[in-house]
Structure 1
């Protein structure tokens, strides 16, 4: 029998009772405030599961300091002797922070005291700190409320049995790490709408949801935005009522996992300012679901993710990689981003096949390339000696495309790979020097050993980068066909010429860089669409025409082409017309055919008699 007139009473698991500090009971009458027996390992210890599911997870009030049955023997070894009070042989209880941002505070037998009395007593004990009691209610004989701050929860934990009430009993305070339950129903949705309405600024199209769960209009319900079901409902309400929202403040809402916020870019397409400070976002990668938002301002201070950066510049750089349009981060204006950025409302100029830094060089470039490739595609490339400077240098590199099948005969680049000067692969200085051709004799001899070709001049993309009296820099991309290789494979090339004046008053190449690879599928489809690959035939001789034979059938454009071709080639009108007609009145093609045939000596002398 217990001493001091104690009486035996059976309590329900859910009922809280008042502990009489003046009386001690035996182990057979020990009462636990745990919600129920849970054998085996607790499978709900994962904080993320607790946050994502509507489960009222209850933690032990004492954690490591919970009493164990039969753990104490009194003097003389007698079991179930009255346990000594704290500070007299038993280690002081310790507060163990839990993984959740909410703590349940239970005051056993708090129902016999007024709410104001209990709260005023607790506030006096933890002063100067102040806590906000959320969802205060009476549950049986106990008073229950929640706090959303771990430091305040620890202060209240330390108040256990430290406060003597007016009736002489010491106030018990039990702290459990658990989240209030929530049910999103029509009533909660209506309350959320009313709370949001007063927080919306129509002039700036901004909605302030800072610490939304603490809103006075939501005092009797648990409406925490860190619960995905609540956040998703809030976003739906915003999308239905203010779809053009431009600024949203989600500061201090205990946000952790935000994967469900991936719907924001689709729901709120005008959102440009987002505040998410003083939350629990652990990694910068957690913001990945928000990348599609066109944010110009972002606030992240107060999140653990900032502690992972020892260098602030790296932090700013990494954030801007996710949100390249940011102009303000954590309240600080950012310098203009270094990079290519085009405003959405700016129309890009139309694509050009060629670029000329100076339009005055157009004729010279056209004539130079036409003459050079007419000789290059001829049977003999020896005449190219006149095109190169005495001390010219030339290098060639070749490589395969990543999707090339090197077993296919038409895709093998053996004729080029063996002489490739790819300096990413050839690192020895002597080898690099050996693959560099110096002097025009070496250059032309090397070019003569390469496979015979026919270039698609009309498919060239030509850029004139430098055009001065002292130097011309010319780059070109295009395709050519190998005419003496089985299968006549088509190759892609990039070439750069550095051209300087020569002693004879013309121009010559002083540096030549050539890169060769296989063509892409798109290049194959567009190659030689103008018919350049067809072997040209010399024009048929005919009597010298009179002006009347030429002029009547030509329009103004054809007249201009005829005059230009006659001036540039020196041929008379009849041969010029013949050349233009056989090339479909394609001036560039006609000029190319003339240069090729003239180099081979296939144009008779009478073609130049005027």
Structure 2
């Protein structure tokens, strides 16, 4: 990784101040046309040979030398003239294998020096070059490996086309095979030494690009695509540099990476991961790495990118797996749209209720107490006074789980039939019919619902809007049906939109009710509290608290004067006049002010303090 002001940055041409061994020029896609010959060819079906012995029988490509005059024609007569080219002659064909490693066998290669054989082969495939991995003599054959399918094909084509100094044609056998590997003390020590020179302590970055081609590993097979080697490399990193933040695994022919699931536990500080120019087939293959807190990821050069026709979809899918990413494939990503909370941010304490304006506490308490006292009474007809003439009301109901339908006391039949749940009522006209409009329809509908008693002390109340023109109040709690067999308990959520009336009071203009089954926790806590309903959470006390001392009439008037002056902006003189003319009814005074101010009837001097 180049040192650039301490920045961690991987570039295709600069890999951690480390030079690789010579490699082939740019890769290209290779296609092979099938031959017309249907005869058996020993090399047509390339097998995965991991630790096989070398089979020296036969010649390269599976063809066998024929003795002069031994050809038998189609009529069976010996010494017939050989058929013309393209008729009956086995044609050698290169078949790429499932892995990118190929074993090159040079029969009788022991007769020649290593430099002679390699120089001869390099001259034949020029201008391409290859790296002969793990060259050795096995019996009378020379054996080495290449890790590129293009080079393997060119070497395959060199069979019997090179005449050596002794007059014999050089035979070249190509097998799809991976060198054997044994993780022992010698391999571990060599891996440590190779990794030590690739580590940048300043940026806490380790470059393992094309690790198997490291010069210090020339005589031993150490490919990271072998799980046993990769796991040992991770163990070495975790033991020696556990605070590693950047890891480059580019160009290591990685395919299956399920074993990399140990990374999140072994390297918890890893934030930058490069895995480009590998063979990762699917984006789902990265699932084992999801727990890593990655901010930068490089995947270019993997087959998985070819599965996305839309680059934006690719970026989106990657970010779903790694939501903290800020850089992908060397490109800075725009900020993600989300609602993530920083881990070190403490959330505010939980509270049962919320008041947007503490001044509305008394009004909310009084309104809810009066409303549910009537709602839980034998007759709900007096609720006509609580609703606006043009009020609207809707109710929805659903089960918590399908199991709730099995018990008779948990069935919501009395509510489901009138539910306006939009997943149940899909037609526009039907939805209109299930919406109650006008105070008569609303109260008539409410009167038909089962008789109830509400647990006022268990209410959670939120005052969301509190202005002279509108109040929005939401609550959820528990009620019990008093006239139904078994007295079943229900959970509800309700929203009231409240507006002032011309007479100085308030009425509901919109009512939304949702009913469902109670949870076990709700049932255990319902109807056990003895504290009166409050919009703010009550403070538990072991003994009853004494009644609050009511302020004197003068003090009450001073409080109302201060509140009215603050909310309206009027000076004390005009605020006193407004309260006196409304009989010191604060809500009525606020309503009168709002109405006159809207009509422009309050003079400017009323706001001069």
Alignment TM class, shorter chain as reference: 0.7 to 0.9
Q: Shift in Å at residue 132 of structure 1?
A: 0.8
Cα distance change on mapping 1:342 and 1:261 into 2, 3 Å: same
Cα distance change on mapping 1:48 and 1:138 into 2, 3 Å: closer
| Separation (CA, whole Å) in 2 of partners of 1:596 and 1:522 | 47
Q: Shift in Å at residue 32 of structure 1?
A: 27
Q: Note if contact 1:25-1:82 (Cα within 8 Å) is conserved in structure 2.
A: no
Per-residue displacement from partner, 1:251-270 (whole Å, max 9, x unpaired)? 11111111111111111111
Cα distance change on mapping 1:578 and 1:187 into 2, 3 Å: farther
| Separation (CA, whole Å) in 1 of partners of 2:5 and 2:514 | 103
Q: Note if contact 1:208-1:250 (Cα within 8 Å) is conserved in structure 2.
A: yes
Q: Shift in Å at residue 98 of structure 1?
A: 0.5
| Separation (CA, whole Å) in 1 of partners of 2:522 and 2:15 | 82
Q: Shift in Å at residue 431 of structure 1?
A: 2.0
Per-residue displacement from partner, 1:376-413 (whole Å, max 9, x unpaired)? 12222222111111011111111111253323121011
Q: Shift in Å at residue 549 of structure 1?
A: 14
| Separation (CA, whole Å) in 2 of partners of 1:572 and 1:596 | 18
Q: Note if contact 1:14-1:35 (Cα within 8 Å) is conserved in structure 2.
A: no
- In structure 2, runs of 5+ residues without a counterpart are none
Cα distance change on mapping 1:345 and 1:122 into 2, 3 Å: same
| Separation (CA, whole Å) in 1 of partners of 2:434 and 2:16 | 94
Q: Shift in Å at residue 495 of structure 1?
A: 1.3
Does 2:113 correspond to 1:111? Answer: no
Per-residue displacement from partner, 1:420-479 (whole Å, max 9, x unpaired)? 112211122332222211110110111111112222223222233333333222222221
Match of residue 344 from structure 1? 343
| Separation (CA, whole Å) in 2 of partners of 1:380 and 1:560 | 38
Q: TM-score, normalization: structure 2? A: 0.76
Cα distance change on mapping 1:168 and 1:583 into 2, 3 Å: farther
Per-residue displacement from partner, 1:150-196 (whole Å, max 9, x unpaired)? 11111111111222222222221111000011111111111111111
Cα distance change on mapping 1:393 and 1:139 into 2, 3 Å: same
Q: Note if contact 1:374-1:596 (Cα within 8 Å) is conserved in structure 2.
A: no
Q: Shift in Å at residue 560 of structure 1?
A: 14
Cα distance change on mapping 1:231 and 1:51 into 2, 3 Å: farther
RMSD between aligned residues: 15.1
Cα distance change on mapping 1:533 and 1:310 into 2, 3 Å: same
Cα distance change on mapping 1:55 and 1:544 into 2, 3 Å: closer
Q: Note if contact 1:463-1:475 (Cα within 8 Å) is conserved in structure 2.
A: yes
Match of residue 25 from structure 1? 24
Q: Note if contact 2:135-2:142 (Cα within 8 Å) is conserved in structure 1.
A: yes
Q: Note if contact 2:460-2:475 (Cα within 8 Å) is conserved in structure 1.
A: yes
Cα distance change on mapping 1:351 and 1:34 into 2, 3 Å: same
| Separation (CA, whole Å) in 2 of partners of 1:599 and 1:369 | 29
| Separation (CA, whole Å) in 1 of partners of 2:409 and 2:354 | 32
| Separation (CA, whole Å) in 2 of partners of 1:603 and 1:4 | 69
Q: Note if contact 2:457-2:534 (Cα within 8 Å) is conserved in structure 1.
A: no
Q: Shift in Å at residue 568 of structure 1?
A: 20
Cα distance change on mapping 1:602 and 1:139 into 2, 3 Å: same
Map 1:130-169 → 2, pairs under 5 A: 130-169=129-168
Q: Shift in Å at residue 47 of structure 1?
A: 11
Per-residue displacement from partner, 1:352-387 (whole Å, max 9, x unpaired)? 322334444333333322322222122222221111
Cα distance change on mapping 1:45 and 1:288 into 2, 3 Å: farther
Cα distance change on mapping 1:24 and 1:501 into 2, 3 Å: closer
Cα distance change on mapping 1:578 and 1:271 into 2, 3 Å: farther
| Separation (CA, whole Å) in 2 of partners of 1:201 and 1:127 | 37
Q: Note if contact 1:245-1:268 (Cα within 8 Å) is conserved in structure 2.
A: yes
**3-state SS of the aligned residue for 1:550?**
coil
**3-state SS of the aligned residue for 2:115?**
helix
Q: TM-score, normalization: structure 1? A: 0.76
| Separation (CA, whole Å) in 2 of partners of 1:350 and 1:21 | 57
| Separation (CA, whole Å) in 2 of partners of 1:55 and 1:35 | 27
Does 2:173 correspond to 1:170? Answer: no
| Separation (CA, whole Å) in 2 of partners of 1:554 and 1:284 | 74
Per-residue displacement from partner, 1:549-603 (whole Å, max 9, x unpaired)? 9999999999999999999999999999999999999999999999999999999
Q: Note if contact 2:504-2:587 (Cα within 8 Å) is conserved in structure 1.
A: no
| Separation (CA, whole Å) in 2 of partners of 1:452 and 1:366 | 22
Q: Shift in Å at residue 484 of structure 1?
A: 2.0
Q: Note if contact 2:459-2:476 (Cα within 8 Å) is conserved in structure 1.
A: yes
Once the two structures are overlaid, the 10-residue window that deviates more, 314-323 or 78-87, is: 78-87
